[in-house]
Amino acid sequence: MTDSITRTKLSNGLQILLKEIHTAPIISHWVWYRVGSKDEQTGRTGISHWVEHMQFKGTPQYPASVLDKAISRDGGMWNAFTYLDWTTYFETMPADKIDLALRLEADRMYNSLYDPKEVASERTVVISEREGSENEPLFLLSEAVQHAAFRVHPYHHEVIGDLADLKSISRDDLYNHYRTYYQPNNALIAVAGDFDTRRMLKLLRELYGDFPAGPHLPRLSRAEPIPSGEHQLTVEGPGETSYLEVAYRSVAGSHPDFYPLSVLDSLLAGPSNLNMFGGGGISNKTSRLYRALVEKELAVAVNGGLTTTLDPFLYSIMITVHPSRKPAQALAALDGEIKRIQDELASPEEIARAIKQARAIFAYGSENITNQAFWLGYAEMFATYDWFTSYLDKLAEVTPKDVQRVAQAYLRPQERVFGTYLPTGSGGSQ
């Protein structure tokens, strides 16, 4: 995959990546901030996500009451996301209407209001979001597994934050977090679509060039020690279905082993969609775990989860246990398949199919203008844009021996966390 982009850094440290695409009169514009739940400490968990919400509450120039209507009236869409390593905001608009999005984002980098009444209102929203998640078995299980997997590293907590912190975070806490991290030297602008690069650069310089750089912000990074043994946990809660989540230590997205791990994921459980914004889906019915668990009626569903992060995160396998089976039976089948891939080389044909499927889901999540603008910035959050352009070539180089090696190195039972969700309602496997 080859892509021509323009890369610029303003004197205040703001990074700009531009990619002209003239297939349709559309422009997608993303602003990325290098701040996420990784940058939060106990007592302030969930603050990055809450700040994201507050950024839609308006500025003196762009009151919240007019923004949605203005974007919709011009035929655009906008949204935002917060994750472990970053927060991002985007607008996809008709090309001749993009000025509104550019000016809006520049304005709210510095001028968001954080009205106390809006903070109080949004507290109710984020608490409701947290409490709603607590009714979902998969959230409860995944949170418990994540807590157990990271005792030291700040990936310990969920992006939504802990309920105790959501109740105690103040307006000043939110505003100070915003003013600390929403600085040009902590931001990246990615624009893709139907524009002229010179004109776009000129406009972005006019909008952002006079903003002063903020102080250097060293990111919180506490390496997670190697576990001394397998960690098992059980979560009980509402519902009638049992689940298993088995989480292994993974690597940072920039690590060379990420490519064979991607192929291993595709071979075992079907390929993970690395585009968190969306785009396409691939059936996992040819994967080893589907055949070993779902076809043999040990599980109703099985899925893998591999994601690109700045620091090493987790490779998780989620199993929905068949109602007539026990979680231990599904776990035994999973362990058998992992041992088989560690002990025996997969055939070149099976690896080729796994690579083809991983390439396909990556391509599906990269094709439209919004997705291309997403990747333009997202790859820079954990590596560089070269990671994106070389990804398919790197996958093609993966061999059966590479897959076996990473299976042996990373799918080690003594370094994993596995959690079982046991339903308290009728009909669950106990």
pLDDT, residue 280, reads 57
Assess whether pLDDT exceeds 80 at residue 265. Answer: yes
| pLDDT tens sequence across 87-131 | 999 999 999 999 999 999 999 999 999 999 999 999 999 999 999
Q: Is the dihedral of CA 378, 380, 382, 388 positive or negative?
A: positive
Report, as an integer, the average pLDDT of 376-399: 97
Banded model confidence at residue 427, pLDDT cuts 50, 70, 90: very low
pLDDT, residue 222, reads 85
**Taking a C-beta distance cutoff of 8 angstroms, is the pair 257, 411 a contact?**
no
pLDDT, residue 1, reads 43
| Alpha-carbon span 190 to 28, nearest angstrom | 8
pLDDT, residue 323, reads 96
Query: Secondary structure of the chain in the HEC alphabet?
Result: CCCCCEEEECCCCCEEEEEECCCCCEEEEEEEECCCHHHCCCCCCCHHHHHHHHCCCECCCCEHHHHHHHHHHCCCEEEEEECCCCEEEEEEEEHHHHHHHHHHHHHHHHCCCCCHHHHHHHHHHHHHHHHHHCCCHHHHHHHHHHHHHCCCCHHHCCCCCCHHHHHHCCHHHHHHHHHHHCCHHHEEEEEEECCCHHHHHHHHHHHHCCCCCCCCCCCCCCCCCCCCCCEEEEEEECCCCCEEEEEEECCCCCCCCHHHHHHHHHHHHCCCCCCCCCCCCCCCCCCHHHHHHHCCCCEEEEEEECCCCCCCCEEEEEEEECCCCCHHHHHHHHHHHHHHHHHCCCCHHHHHHHHHHHHHHHHHCCCCHHHHHHHHHHHHHHCCHHHHHHHHHHHHCCCHHHHHHHHHHHCCHHHCEEEEEEECCCCCCC
pLDDT, residue 282, reads 73
Q: Does domain 231-423 have CATH number 1.25.40.390?
A: no
Q: Does domain 6-208 have CATH number 3.30.830.10?
A: yes
pLDDT, residue 279, reads 57
Fold agreement (6-208, 231-423): yes
| pLDDT tens sequence across 278-327 | 655 678 899 999 999 999 999 999 999 999 999 999 999 999 999 999 99
pLDDT, residue 281, reads 65
| pLDDT tens sequence across 168-192 | 999 999 999 999 999 999 999 999 9
Q: What is the mean pLDDT of the chain?
A: 94
Q: Where are the domains of the chain?
A: 6-208, 231-423
pTM for the model:
0.95
Q: What percent of the chain has pLDDT over 70?
A: 97
23 Cβ neighbours under 8 A, 6+ residues apart: 194, 369
Report, as an integer, the average pLDDT of 20-37: 97
Report, as an integer, the average pLDDT of 194-198: 97
